[in-house]
Structure 1
Amino acid sequence: MGTLDSKVAIVTGAGRGIGRAIAEKFAHEGANVVVADLDADASAEVAKHLGGGALGIGTDVTSRESVEAMVTRVRDAVGQIDVLVNNAGWDKAGPFVDSDPTDWDRIVRVNLYGVLHTSKAVLPTFINQGFGSVVNIASDAGRVGSSGEAVYSATKGGVIAFTKTIAREVARHGVRANAVCPGPTDTALFEEFAGPKLRESLARAIPFRRIGTPGDVAGAVAFLASDEAAYITGQTLSVSGGLTMS
């Protein structure tokens, strides 16, 4: 038996990268995974790949209406929700003084408002049933900052603070909320702004001497989502190979 047997888990941004790795890990641990992604085709492809009770739903986390429609569809299709993983994210790297306010808006809407929208839609269900686990994918950029990612760092710091506050508000209902903070991780988003030199220098700075993989993050998320972490809430866990320590 897996640690997530029979649980229904919504994973946003699950069409690729860390989100897909989380969806695959959850399925391996026995969960019925809802693959929510802006790219509806990717959602369907990943759900087909997972098999079992996986469900792919095209979802725009920046839209409350889209998120609410997704959550309603999940309730109608499977009748329960046990885990919410807020993974969807976006960034455009560069010095803040050279940044475009239009990009600020998208970063904030995806990374921060996306978490607010899904949490607003799902938490009432968790409260009513007396259990549920939220795992928000933040970033070490939100803990210690990251050059070239000022607005991204601000949103991820907001996600961490939001997670802690929600954890306090819903604990009496048996609902948990935790944040996972990946360090540099080998994803398409990382490749978009990290050339060979930056990649090499980061790898040298990490005690394990390698960039993280999506699977490294997925294992931590699966633990926090499971009943094995039943007495853990309001925590921020870095998955960085020791690049940051606290």
Structure 2
Amino acid sequence: MTPLIDEEVIVLTGANQGIGYHLLTALAKDNRQIAALDINGDNVLDVQDDVPARVRYYECDVTDTDDVNTVVNDIIEQWGRIDILVNNAGVARVAPFQEQSIADTRREFEVNFFGYQRLIRAVLPHMLDQGIGIIHNMCSGTADTGHPGMSGYSATKGAIKAFVRSLRLELRDTDVSCTLMVPPSVNTGMTANLAYPEWMTVGPEEIGHKLADKIHSTRSVITPDRTTRIGLSLTRRFPSLWRRITAGVVGSQK
């Protein structure tokens, strides 16, 4: 079906599962136009079948610069614009540092850090020419606190945090905003190997829907709710509390 030209267009990476999938479904129910990017689109295609005029799946490997540039150009050609980018694609290797290889960490950076940069490099010139845009980047409290068994993942999120803060300063005289989205601990495939207590985690559907409600926020740091904001503040202020909470969440961690 023909896209609805001149309506706002949202680009969402990592859209096939976890927070990304539920963010996609919430945005689709809210009649948004979404270009959904992922290397696997089985779940996205089901959503696309329901609302083909508003959701389109684009197979995209965020570690491939040519792939990213081609997909972004296709989106602009087919939809006419890009108003919001949500960098959500992510991977994590859960294991103690000594069991992780350089290749493991390099893979995490290629997806979680350079993947974000590739999308921003492709989208930002268009947003600046357009005169407006929002770039959301999924971050994590581990950027501040660290996390046992997730040294590489935490490092990528720390890098994203510093990068976004710098880019936000560079864009301060424009109408393009750059933000960090920080969810709580979420029950996804990425955290399946972590023995979190049940009270500590939240379902991805809840977080996806709450973040969808904040899709137009330009705050520097966006959390899905007040509880998450307070929790992040407490773990930063009292690191000993975070050490106790995460003690033993990785079975082989000493």
TM (normalized to structure 2)? Answer: 0.82
Distance 1:35 1:47 in 2: 9
Gaps of 5+ in 1: 204-208
Which letter maps to 1:235?
V
- CA RMSD, 1 decimal: 2.1
- Counterparts of residues 1-80 of structure 1 (less than 5 Å): 6-80=7-81
Give yes or no for contact 2:207–2:224 (8 Å, CA) kept in 1.
no
Match of 1:206 in 2: none
Judged with a 3 Å threshold, the aligned counterparts in structure 2 of structure 1 residues 212 and 39 are, in CA distance, closer, same or farther, namely same
Q: Secondary structure at the match of 1:171?
A: coil
Q: Secondary structure at the match of 1:176?
A: strand
Which letter maps to 1:234?
S
Judged with a 3 Å threshold, the aligned counterparts in structure 2 of structure 1 residues 142 and 236 are, in CA distance, closer, same or farther, namely farther
State the aligned residue count. Answer: 227
Give yes or no for contact 2:21–2:44 (8 Å, CA) kept in 1.
no
Judged with a 3 Å threshold, the aligned counterparts in structure 2 of structure 1 residues 221 and 6 are, in CA distance, closer, same or farther, namely farther
160-169 or 57-66: which moved more? Answer: 160-169
- Counterparts of residues 156-175 of structure 1 (less than 5 Å): 156-175=157-176
Match 1:244 to one of 222, 225, 232 = 232
Give yes or no for contact 2:211–2:224 (8 Å, CA) kept in 1.
no
Match of 2:98 in 1: 97
Bigger Rg, which one:
2
Match of 2:251 in 1: none
Give yes or no for contact 2:93–2:152 (8 Å, CA) kept in 1.
no
Distance 2:51 2:70 in 1: 22
> How far is the alpha carbon of 1:238 from its aligned partner?
7.0
Moved over 2 A (4+): 40-52, 215-225, 232-244
> How far is the alpha carbon of 1:221 from its aligned partner?
3.0
- Counterparts of residues 194-205 of structure 1 (less than 5 Å): 194=194, 198-200=195-197, 203=198
Give yes or no for contact 1:10–1:81 (8 Å, CA) kept in 2.
yes
Judged with a 3 Å threshold, the aligned counterparts in structure 2 of structure 1 residues 97 and 234 are, in CA distance, closer, same or farther, namely same
Please state if 1:234 is matched with 2:220: yes
Q: Secondary structure at the match of 1:34?
A: strand
Q: Secondary structure at the match of 1:84?
A: strand
Distance 2:105 2:134 in 1: 29
Gaps of 5+ in 2: 1-5, 235-254
> How far is the alpha carbon of 1:236 from its aligned partner?
5.2
Distance 1:101 1:78 in 2: 40
Distance 2:47 2:161 in 1: 28
- Counterparts of residues 175-190 of structure 1 (less than 5 Å): 175-190=176-191
Match of 1:142 in 2: 143
Distance 2:183 2:7 in 1: 27
Which letter maps to 1:244?
L
Match of 1:216 in 2: 206
